[in-house]
Amino acid sequence: MPQMRGSPAVVTALSELMERSGELAALESHLENVRISGTGRFCMLAGEAGVGKTALLRRFSERRASAQILWGACDPLFTPRPLGPLLDIAAGVGGELARLGGRRTRPYEIACALISQLRQRSPAIVVLEDVHWADEATLDVLRLLSRRLKSAPALLIASYRDDELDRSHPLRLLLGELPRDESIVRIRLHPLSAAAVAAMAGPAGVDSDDLFRKTAGNPFFVTEILAAAGDEQIPSTVRDAVLARAARLSPDARSLLEVVAVAPPQAELWLLEAVSAQKFSALGQCLSSGMLAQQNGAVTFRHELARLAIEESIAPDGALQLHRQTLAAGERASAVGAHREAAAQFARALRVAESLPPREHADMLQQLAQAYLHANNAERAIPVQERAIELYRQAGDSLNQADALRRQSRLFLCGGRGAEAEAPIGKAVALLEKLPEGRELALAYSGLAMFYMNHDDAEGTIRSARRALELSERLGDTETLLHTLNSLGSMQLLMGDPGGKAKLLRSLELAEEMGNDENVGRAYINLAGTMVRTRAYDDLMELVSAGIDFCLEHGLDLWRMWLISSQAQALLDQGDWSRAAELATTVLQGDGTQLPRVSALPVVALVRARRGDPDVWPLLDEARSMADREGELQYAVPVCVARAEVAWLEGRPDAIREETEGIFRRAMAKGAWWVIGELVCWRRRAGLVDEIDGRIPERYRAEIEGDWSKAAELWSALGCEYDAALALAGADDDDLLRHSLV
């Protein structure tokens, strides 16, 4: 029998044929059926390259040494050898088959001669390896044998790589034409399981999880790594095999492989087209070669080890060029609102960024952090931005360091860590005050105004906004102007100044004119948020709907979640509890940045509590934990009020003091009278008496002063019938009490 192919390491390590007992038993069973019945069977043995087809066939043949065994193989030649595997067999057996092999012979004659040979000794085993490389004449012989083998007591086994067959491959046609009866059997070898890899890796002291990740259980890759004993990250045998496989592809296909290699864990189809538009048509070759697999609109290497081998083979200047191309693709994706895709490309490009100058590296990190934020992953953006700040500091670039600190403050506000946002924006202003005035200083003061606005500090907001507006006017900086108008307008609305809405709408208009998507989204968010907080519902739903559409169109996922949270709160206030709970649940089920949850959780909890449903307090406990971490009254007060209401509904008014005391004191200390009124009303329902500021909204003041009818009328005028009923619930008048129950 000719020497069988396959890596020596595979043959050695698979001497126990791990996880192959079922396939081996199947072959034994088919051969036994041949012996008993005297009729032949045709077995197609499939599996990816390196999965151990040769090792399995060799073990099977060794066990049946008494049988007539004929062995032939196809080769990966540019010009396939006609009838190659059958000529191998002919050379070994001689006779008529050898005579026919020595001249131009038709497939029919070869098939008849082989069947005649197989009848001489029973049972016979015929192995034809790698028929995915077979020439057309060999495939014709196989086609004939599949229909005539019943007349010979033989088991014919043809092995092939099923991961290298595209739809037009000649073998694919043959497989479709095989008879549908018991004489045709199919066996597929699968990669080793994680447990099998662990069993092999254990004695060698190799990390089995890492080994399985790199090899996906491919026996060839597993055994070659173990045989290398850690001397090389990629064993030379593996490298040679992978590169040889790639060399059989066209230049365009090899170029696509290189793009995918530098874009782990997967390369989206849009990225391949963006980076290699002229070569994209060669993707089919990469897939049909078995090196790449396609899933969910992206392609990836079937085996990480193969990706590493291709990546390692790319020249340094070529790798840098590919990473720059992926970075450019990320910038284009971000520009059109594809922020998740942009983040993926920036992250890939950063794999070579360590070799860049600190300033260029930091610029790239900031692009990644920005993309993470827009893709609803502020938590992931924060450490990336911290690294950028440090690199600017190392480079001695105080201007960009300060601007990066400003951006970091915003990330803390967006990422649920608002209490940490003051330090970086304060440092940014301090650094920039030492430098010549520029737009960075203007933006820093605008960022400081945003911080104060988010923390309900009216004095700080107005003071910082005035400084930012002075600088923006002197510098002619529209971005600072629109950003500052947003914060100032939001604070004025909270303070009861209707002129604040005009500033917010002007901010929205300027952002749209500039094409500044982020600040368009921010304008919608703060319009919606402040209108909900002040119970101004006139055109709220139209604005929210427009904002959601904009954010959806421009890939601003985090902004969209905030808007949906505001929409849910407004619907709850106006009595549409079912729709409110539905929208809030949408936010809770979303992935990415968790901060919008803090507004959605009380909505779901209150709907459940008002309906008498269970599982309310776990939602409110999570909300309070998040609000405490964020440190902003805009999140803490709704959670506090929701907890007070649920305690009241449960007949525990005494718990209201504990639930509200801390937040009430914080609001009083800040002079945030726009939130104090609601807190005082709930504390009054628990028998607590607090001094109030005359500036609190009239609907709260009327209830506190005992004018329950007026309070209810004011609430009803806003469409808030539940709040109207709550106001009447404190009345001493029996008629009013009955009205509150209607």
- The mean pLDDT of 2-24, rounded to a whole number, is 59
C-alpha span between 490 and 475 (Å, rounded): 24
Residue 71: strand pairing partners: 127
Is residue 334 in some structural domain?
Answer: yes
Predicted confidence at residue 181, as pLDDT, reads 85
Is residue 166 in some structural domain?
Answer: yes
Chosen domain end from 567, 593, 619 = 593
Tokens of 210: 């890492």
The CA-atom distances, in angstroms, between 48 and each of 163, 261, 605 are 6, 20, 53
Residue 43: strand pairing partners: 157, 185
Identify whether residues 618 and 720 lie together within a single domain: yes
Tokens of 733: 């008048």
Domain count, the chain: 5
Reduce the DSSP state of residue 543 to 3 states and report it.
Answer: helix
C-alpha span between 627 and 418 (Å, rounded): 9
Is residue 638 in some structural domain?
Answer: yes
- The mean pLDDT of 187-214, rounded to a whole number, is 90
Task: Name the band, by pLDDT with cuts 50, 70 and 90, for residue 418.
Answer: confident
Q: What's the burial of 738, exposed, middle or buried (CB within 10 Å: 0-12/13-18/19+)?
A: exposed
Task: Name the band, by pLDDT with cuts 50, 70 and 90, for residue 9.
Answer: very low
Question: In this structure, is the dihedral angle defined by the CA atoms of residues 677, 678, 682 and 685, taken in order, positive or negative?
Answer: positive
Closest to 144 in 3D by CA, of 114, 101, 99, 182: 114
How many CB atoms are located within 10 Å of the residue 416 CB? 24
Predicted confidence at residue 737, as pLDDT, reads 42
265: preceding bond cis by omega (within 30 degrees)? yes
The CA-atom distances, in angstroms, between 482 and each of 230, 337, 409, 573, 642 are 59, 20, 18, 30, 34
| pLDDT of residue 3 exceeding 50 | no
Q: In degrees rounded to 5, what are phi and psi of residue 266?
A: -155, 160
Closest to 323 in 3D by CA, of 368, 286, 353: 353
Residue 399: in which H helix or E strand, if any? helix 398-414
Task: Name the band, by pLDDT with cuts 50, 70 and 90, for residue 335.
Answer: very low
C-alpha span between 130 and 154 (Å, rounded): 19
- The mean pLDDT of 422-431, rounded to a whole number, is 96
| pLDDT of residue 249 exceeding 80 | yes
- 219 within 8 A of 241, measured Cβ to Cβ: no
Is residue 528 in some structural domain?
Answer: yes
Identify whether residues 94 and 18 lie together within a single domain: yes
Predicted confidence at residue 316, as pLDDT, reads 67
- The mean pLDDT of 250-274, rounded to a whole number, is 79
| pLDDT of residue 167 exceeding 90 | no
Reduce the DSSP state of residue 43 to 3 states and report it.
Answer: strand
Residue 154: strand pairing partners: 124
Predicted confidence at residue 353, as pLDDT, reads 57
Q: In degrees rounded to 5, what are phi and psi of residue 453?
A: -60, -45
C-alpha span between 319 and 331 (Å, rounded): 18
Share of the chain above pLDDT 90, in %: 50
- 255 within 8 A of 276, measured Cβ to Cβ: yes
Per residue in 681-696, pLDDT (tens digit) is 999 999 998 887 778 8
Identify whether residues 537 and 567 lie together within a single domain: yes
Reduce the DSSP state of residue 736 to 3 states and report it.
Answer: helix
| First vs last C-alpha separation in the chain | 95
| pLDDT of residue 367 exceeding 90 | no
Host domain of residue 567: 516-593
DSSP string, 148-217: HGGGSSEEEEEEE-GGG--TT-HHHHHHHHS-SSTTEEEEE--PPPHHHHHHHHGGGT--HHHHHHHHTT
- The mean pLDDT of 592-621, rounded to a whole number, is 93
Chosen domain end from 250, 283, 314 = 314
- The mean pLDDT of 114-133, rounded to a whole number, is 88
Identify whether residues 659 and 531 lie together within a single domain: no
| pLDDT of residue 2 exceeding 90 | no
Q: Which residue has the tokens 């650094």?
A: 431
Residue 69: strand pairing partners: 125
- 679 within 8 A of 667, measured Cβ to Cβ: yes
- The mean pLDDT of 266-279, rounded to a whole number, is 74
- 361 within 8 A of 353, measured Cβ to Cβ: yes
Tokens of 196: 């099998």
Identify whether residues 296 and 378 lie together within a single domain: no
Identify whether residues 603 and 647 lie together within a single domain: yes
- The mean pLDDT of 717-737, rounded to a whole number, is 78
C-alpha span between 355 and 317 (Å, rounded): 12
- The mean pLDDT of 7-36, rounded to a whole number, is 76
Is residue 472 in some structural domain?
Answer: no
Residue 84: in which H helix or E strand, if any? helix 84-93
Identify whether residues 586 and 618 lie together within a single domain: no
| pLDDT of residue 28 exceeding 90 | yes
Is residue 213 in some structural domain?
Answer: no
Identify whether residues 586 and 604 lie together within a single domain: no
Task: Name the band, by pLDDT with cuts 50, 70 and 90, for residue 552.
Answer: confident
Residue 186: strand pairing partners: 44
Reduce the DSSP state of residue 379 to 3 states and report it.
Answer: helix
Strands (E), 516-648: none
Task: Name the band, by pLDDT with cuts 50, 70 and 90, for residue 103.
Answer: low
Is residue 306 in some structural domain?
Answer: yes
Identify whether residues 588 and 606 lie together within a single domain: no
Can you give the C-alpha Rg of the chain in angstroms? 36
Number of H helices, E strands in the chain: 39, 8
| pLDDT of residue 173 exceeding 80 | yes
Q: What's the burial of 739, exposed, middle or buried (CB within 10 Å: 0-12/13-18/19+)?
A: middle
Mean of the per-residue pLDDT values for the chain? Answer: 86
Is residue 439 in some structural domain?
Answer: no
What CATH number did the domain enclosing 298 receive? 1.10.10
- The mean pLDDT of 240-260, rounded to a whole number, is 88
Across 70-74, 152-156, 569-573, 690-694, least confident range: 690-694
Predicted confidence at residue 340, as pLDDT, reads 52
C-alpha span between 614 and 666 (Å, rounded): 31
Predicted confidence at residue 273, as pLDDT, reads 75
What CATH number did the domain enclosing 368 receive? 1.25.40.10
Predicted confidence at residue 414, as pLDDT, reads 87
| pLDDT of residue 24 exceeding 90 | yes
Task: Name the band, by pLDDT with cuts 50, 70 and 90, for residue 153.
Answer: very high
Residue 46: in which H helix or E strand, if any? strand 41-46
Q: In degrees rounded to 5, what are phi and psi of residue 706?
A: 90, 10
What CATH number did the domain enclosing 181 receive? 3.40.50.300
Identify whether residues 559 and 606 lie together within a single domain: no
Global pTM reads: 0.62
Identify whether residues 615 and 574 lie together within a single domain: no
Chosen domain end from 422, 447, 475 = 422
Task: Name the band, by pLDDT with cuts 50, 70 and 90, for residue 266.
Answer: confident
Task: Name the band, by pLDDT with cuts 50, 70 and 90, for residue 189.
Answer: very high
| pLDDT of residue 379 exceeding 60 | yes
Q: In degrees rounded to 5, what are phi and psi of residue 594?
A: -90, -10
Identify whether residues 287 and 407 lie together within a single domain: no
Q: Which residue has the tokens 């803490």?
A: 636
**Cβ within 8 Å of residue 205, ≥6 positions away:** none
Per residue in 38-97, pLDDT (tens digit) is 999 999 999 999 999 999 999 999 888 778 889 999 888 766 778 888 888 887 777 777
